[in-house]
Amino acid sequence: MISRSRCFRTAVRSLAEPTMSARLERSTPSISEPEHNLKKEDCGMTNITRRRFLGSSMAAGAAWLSLPGRAGADDQEAIQASIAKFGGFRVGIQSNMLGTLSPEMEPMLGHVADVGLHWIEFAHWHYGVTEDADRIAEVQERLSRHAIRMEAYFLGEIEADDVALRRTFQFAKTNGVSVLVGQPTIEAFPILNRLVDQFDIKVAVHNYGPGHRFDRIDDILKAVQPWDARIGYCLDTGHAMRSGECPVEAVRRMGPRLHGLHLREQVAIQREPQPGEAIIGEGGMDLPALCRALHDAQFSGPLTLEMYYRPKDPLPPLRRSLQNLAQAAVVS
């Protein structure tokens, strides 16, 4: 019998570490206790299409689970239960929010599994693009052991380097990644446009809030519009709030080109003064309205929690946020 590790080694083509710029500097707002009497901003009502959305999401989850070596029967049942618990969304974790507990992969995956999730978005500094077949096989073995899939991969700054980007797309293909997330330079878009077609992998342009290239939603809409529809958006709800923009309205405007979502929440939707971070579901965003908008848009991408409410002790607020999300996603 051919081992899973050998299969992954066989699948790996020649790759090289791409020349990426330094980690994109993050603007992390000050952390404060949430105000519980804030007005929840839903920016209007939406039509609910949850039943149809849930059915298609469960089918997508089943398609992934049917792949050889992905998960045993018990794991399949747990993963399907997770999808149903969160109203059809495939909910995962961005590796950054667990990096303060341990930068090592195994403890990080253990924390994801402990909170009952089955998806992770690795930042490139936690799992770098590599040609090492043994390293790729090792990572895939660890993911499989915890019944976790790396559906999205975070690149940070995306430079206009054809060779490096081609290697990155090949690395993503080998690892089963369907969405690459980051902030492309304007010059990188023509290269990305060719590669999304060749590899059939989506690119999700991430908004970053005040002071960054993609501050407002209009900035992303304008940059992405001329290109292949597989180049779309990753909405960071917290950064949108820091830019003074309603995440619910942003989902509606992005529509079918919303390829990923980073879920976090601030205490208010305002640009000045910059609002502190809140537990998801307890700040200034109407979480049920956001879930309704995602259902209406038939959002099928990874929904990734990336919160820094208490970065040195992230698990208790993470668990509470997941409880709030599950309730909001189901009632929406």
Minimum mean pLDDT range among 7-11, 161-165, 212-216, 326-330: 7-11
Q: Which residues pair with 258 in a beta bridge?
A: 233
pTM over 0.85: no
Work out the angle between the directed axes of helices 247-254 and 287-296 (0-180°, nearest 10). 0
Q: What residue ranges define each of the domains in the chain, with the CATH number in brackets?
A: 47-331 (3.20.20.150)
| pLDDT at residue 22 in the model | 34
Q: Give the whole-number percent of the chain exceeding pLDDT 70.
A: 78
List, for residues 168-220, the tens digit of each pLDDT value: 999 999 999 999 999 999 999 999 999 999 999 999 999 999 999 999 999 99
Average pLDDT score, the chain: 85
Tokens of 212: 């960054």
User: Looking at beta carbons, which pairs linking 109-112 to residues 24 or more positions away fall under 8 Å?
Assistant: 109/142, 109/143, 109/145, 109/146, 109/148, 110/146, 111/315, 112/146, 112/148
CA quadruple 278, 303, 181, 97: dihedral sign: positive
CA distances from 203 to 124, 156, 197, 228, 327 (A): 15, 12, 11, 10, 30
List, for residues 298-331, the tens digit of each pLDDT value: 999 999 999 999 999 999 999 999 999 999 998 7
For residues 4 and 137, the answer to whether their CB atoms sit within 8 Å is: yes
| pLDDT at residue 6 in the model | 40
Q: Report the C-alpha gap between 262 and 254 in whole angstroms.
A: 14
- Is 263 strand, coil or helix? strand
